[in-house]
Chain A
């Protein structure tokens, strides 16, 4: 029998980013006992990195804004594959969730009359992103953390979950090890919330941290839950490209929101060359109109740099491919040029974009108040994720298992708008916490079979018992996968490449199962990385499988062998589930017909 510590709670929340913290706070507020588990230290989750802002139709910066416009923008951005019910709830509830943060100590940037200020972002009709300079995620996670530590939540830091535990079709807990000593912990709960974030580490060039190995997706999948729309991975148009060491680090869209423009090596503002039909009416005709939009002229339309991320990313790739890229294979992003319009532009840029200034100065030796940056696409966000009920966030097939935040799917469809993730975390984190607590209260006590615990323990220890020298080691194997995904399942995909990718992923899966890790159980990153391989390979397989099946280009998913968006592909989602023999299966699921009132809103908003 495997030695372990047993920890019992009504609700177990796995993940302490924005979604997990918000879920834990909500569940605790109902009187439920809550355990919060996270792989790294509290306050370090990915949410800390978010820069630009949190989207909510507060209408502080433009009173024409309201939830209906936000809803329509989100659906248009997602190319109508979104769960319309989630998009509705999100747009309606985001304002209250953001305001609540101030009651918990957040200090967001102000308007002249002392309310929360809001900034422009791609795909949002009005300035909608509440923010603090370019460190909004830090403000959000710290606020939730500092509020959360006084709510009686039991926090388990640097503890990694490797398996969900079940009782029949119900999730009743999780098996984990602590990173510090490698001791096992069994979390027993009446409801379990996954809030583990994304999967960007499956790709070579990414803005994501080491934690983004798709653990939640994989945990849920292996417990019998469904994954939805996994082919939609967002490549953010502006990551750093030089020097190599910083390749992929995010350059916030806020740079463009503050007036930054994209140019090719010929100095041409190429984004004006090609405006997608869905957005022609909303896009500026001239640079002059674009600038007026930036400084808040309400009659001006947005500059083409603020089109949706999928489009901007593709345009940059096109310039590079056609030989008009920057020296290191990107495009130029210029914010310094605003000195033509703003008197003290240097101070202005430093105030509005302090961490971007810092990041380029320190890491690339570039002063963004004087010179343009070099940028190119970077893997950024997983639109797809665990399939959930839109109202309660309970997974569609495993009772008592909930998911919220980036690891859940549905809200963003084929492409996420900037700022819609932080609001997603708050709205659906709260809902998941609320419904998980309710489920815990209404459902009976739970039992965990010893055999599941023993099996999980054996699997976790296996790498330490194998020969670490037999293969290239976990880091190099991870690197092989990242190169493969970048190359064959990245921003431009086609049938043969995706088939090869799937084959090779299966090969890597075989090798990962035999991978050994040297060293002991104590704070051993080699062992941890070996254990993460299963998640990474599972999500990689799901992404490639979805991408192969979707024979069209839509949103973030581009097929060079099927360049067009096809109407018939706009009516269903891809659902992935483990088949009876343990193999991955994919099927189409018709999108439920949209409610008439919501349809009317979309039509009215154009």
Chain B
């Protein structure tokens, strides 16, 4: 796309009491992402259009929305990769209460995270008071630490989106977080009971929708959730493996 093209955007405008899709026409320059178009709308057509964003580089996870019905980052979705012959729809994430326009109340996620037992390091194993860790052992949790907390995985997960089990189910983001702690080579904490009970990992039926929308490409289901589920099951049904894992410190 070398020159500017004109597109119709349908943007959800409203608040907790309801709202509607409003239509805006935007001249899009080369390489425009959806967030650029939203900014153009703000500058000239709707100054008070509410939207969250920070980095505009796919690094902060603020600009989550549903573009043409799919959970995506507005700053990483190029206009020229969307179908040309139909309006581009932009809506807030549906798994969270809407505050205004494209902005939703995601504070629940922060509460859930706080409830997960925190990182607890072992005693340092290096003579200089720090830890020796092999890159090989660090690789696995590092995948989970790429998470930018965009909550798109939470948005797409049917347990939250359709069944609204927010009080029983922590959601894929928090299983990724728990997995990062559980697989940290120097962590000694134990989160399996919490995962089974308060965090409700059992509600996940491995549809893998979360993995498909993760902008960081984290293999949420296969690498985080399934191993955690296995650990929880082993622990619950097998007292011996529980004992062994305790002795090994994991």
Contacts and interface: CB of A to CB of B under 8 A. Distances in A.
Contacts of B135: 109-110, 114
B230 interface: no
Interface of B is mostly: loop
A363 B133 contact: no
B43 A525 contact: no
Interface stretch (B45-53, B83-91, B238-246): B45-53
Contacts of B187: 105
Interface residues of A, number: 65
A149 B39 CA distance: 33
A295 interface: no
A142 B30 contact: no
A49 interface: yes
B31 interface: yes
B99 A180 contact: yes
Contact of A48 (B29, B51, B148): B148
B193 interface: no
Given A468-B47, A525-B49, A110 B134 contact: yes
B126 interface: yes
A49 B47 contact: no
Given A103-B121, A107-B145, A107-B184, A44 B56 contact: no
Contacts of A41: 52, 62, 106
B155 interface: no
A147 interface: yes
Nearest to A212: B54
A114 B119 contact: no
B58 interface: yes
Given A363-B76, A363-B78, A48 B60 contact: yes
A358 B43 contact: no
Interface string B21-41: 000000001111100100100
A359 interface: yes
Given A105-B119, A135-B146, A475 B43 contact: yes
A46 B56 CA distance: 11
Nearest to B186: A102
A372 B41 CA distance: 34
Interface in A136-163: 137-139, 142, 146-147, 149-150, 157
Contacts of A445: none
Contacts of B47: 468, 473-475, 517-519, 524-526
B48 A524 contact: yes
A495 interface: no
A104 interface: yes
Nearest to A150: B118
Interface in A29-54: 40-46, 48-49
A285 interface: no
Most buried by B among A44, A115, A157, A180: A44
Contact of A149 (B113, B142, B146, B181): B113
A315 to B, nearest CB: 25
A592 interface: no
Nearest to B132: A114
B130 interface: yes
Given A41-B106, A109-B138, A114-B132, A519 B48 contact: yes
A250 interface: yes
B61 interface: yes
A102 B114 contact: no
Contacts of A363: 31, 33, 76, 78
A542 interface: no
B57 A49 contact: yes
Interface stretch (A79-87, A237-245, A531-539): A237-245
Given A146-B118, A243-B30, A246-B31, A107 B48 contact: no
Interface string B127-145: 0011111110010011001
Contact of B56 (A48, A209, A364): A209
Contacts of B36: 245
B110 interface: yes
Contact of A245 (B30, B61, B107, B129): B30
Interface string A242-278: 1111100110000000000000000000000000000
Given A244-B29, A526-B47, 6 more contacts: A49-B60, A132-B142, A135-B146, A146-B118, A523-B101, A526-B48
Interface of B: 15, 29-33, 36, 39, 42-44, 47-62, 76, 78, 99-101, 103, 105-107, 110, 113-114, 118-119, 121, 126, 129-135, 138, 141-142, 145-149, 181, 184, 186-187
Identify the 9 closest CB pairs spanning chains A and B, nearest first. A243-B31, A519-B48, A526-B47, A114-B132, A105-B119, A523-B50, A475-B43, A110-B135, A523-B100
29 contacts: A41-B62, A45-B54, A48-B148, A49-B55, A107-B133, A107-B142, A113-B132, A137-B59, A138-B145, A138-B148, A146-B113, A209-B55, A242-B31, A244-B30, A245-B29, A245-B30, A246-B31, A250-B57, A362-B58, A363-B33, A473-B47, A475-B47, A479-B43, A517-B47, A519-B48, A522-B100, A523-B100, A525-B48, A526-B48
